[in-house]
């Protein structure tokens, strides 16, 4: 997964690095699954796939959120520059390779104890992407289980926080007090 298309620090050089990584992973037996988090990402994804030599390159367009989550759950890893791609991958236990263009991407990975899988967009190399993907594959089911456990932990934390906000608002006669 690539994006956001048109970001000032994201251009042809980065697309070429990612395309070379995709080509190498195909050589090693992997199969890329491309899907865009935003319609403007589709062109960049298609360029990456074509440059990697993927025959009949296409970008998947899941019909629903559930279909997207099912697609993600079948993946070994999510390579994403979009924060949402990394978050959704973690929600189904799929390790993200985070190509960070803003601190929010790195912050998320740190909160999930996945800082070793963060690569800076300004200095990322093909070998770094390939090495991280191989590391993810080597982690197998235990890594997926750990990520899923952490994601569920954050969900529980946010649900507790929401309940506390509702209680506070209800006590003050605000929204949620009905």
pLDDT digits 0-9 by tens, 145-174: 999 999 999 999 999 999 999 999 998 876
Cα pseudo-dihedral 72, 25, 14, 73, rounded to 10: 10
Peptide bond into 4 cis (omega under 30): yes
* Structure confidence at residue 177 (pLDDT): 54
Examine residue 56 and state whether it is found in any structural domain, yes or no: yes
* Structure confidence at residue 120 (pLDDT): 92
Q: What is the domain range of residue 104? A: 12-139
If one counts the domains in the chain, the total is 1
- Segments of the chain with pLDDT less than 50: 1-9
CB 75 within 8 A of CB 89: yes
Neighbours of 45 (CB within 10 A): 23
How long, in residues, is the chain?
178
Examine residue 6 and state whether it is found in any structural domain, yes or no: no
Examine residue 123 and state whether it is found in any structural domain, yes or no: yes
* Structure confidence at residue 4 (pLDDT): 44
CB 24 within 8 A of CB 130: yes
Examine residue 166 and state whether it is found in any structural domain, yes or no: no
What is the helix (H) or strand (E) element at residue 78, kind and residue range?
strand 78-80
Examine residue 31 and state whether it is found in any structural domain, yes or no: yes
Examine residue 162 and state whether it is found in any structural domain, yes or no: no
Examine residue 1 and state whether it is found in any structural domain, yes or no: no
Nearest Cα to Cα of residue 46 among 65, 55, 86: 55
Residue 64: half-sphere exposure toward Cβ, Cα within 13 Å:
3
Q: In what order do the strands lie in the sheet with 96-100?
A: 78-80, 96-100, 118-120
* Structure confidence at residue 3 (pLDDT): 41
Which 3 state secondary structure label does DSSP give 124? Answer: coil
Structure tokens, 76: 């070994």
Examine residue 116 and state whether it is found in any structural domain, yes or no: yes
């Amino acid at each position: 997964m690539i994006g956001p298309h048109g970001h000032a620090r994201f251009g042809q050089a980065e697309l070429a690095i990612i395309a070379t990584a995709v080509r190498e992973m195909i050589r090693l037996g992997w199969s890329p699954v491309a899907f865009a988090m935003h319609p403007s990402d589709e062109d960049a994804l298609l360029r990456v796939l074509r440059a990697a030599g993927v025959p009949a390159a296409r970008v998947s367009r899941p019909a629903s959120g559930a279909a997207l989550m099912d697609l993600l759950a079948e993946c070994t890893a999510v390579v994403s520059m979009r924060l949402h791609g990394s978050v959704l991958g973690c929600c189904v236990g799929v390790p993200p390779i985070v190509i960070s263009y803003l601190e929010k991407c790195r912050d998320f990975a740190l909160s999930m104890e996945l800082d070793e899988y963060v690569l800076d967009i300004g200095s990322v190399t093909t070998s770094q992407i390939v090495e991280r993907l191989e590391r993810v594959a080597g982690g197998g089911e235990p890594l997926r289980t750990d990520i899923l456990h952490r994601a569920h932990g954050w969900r529980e934390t946010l649900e507790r926080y929401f309940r506390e906000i509702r209680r506070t608002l209800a006590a003050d006669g605000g929204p949620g007090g009905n």
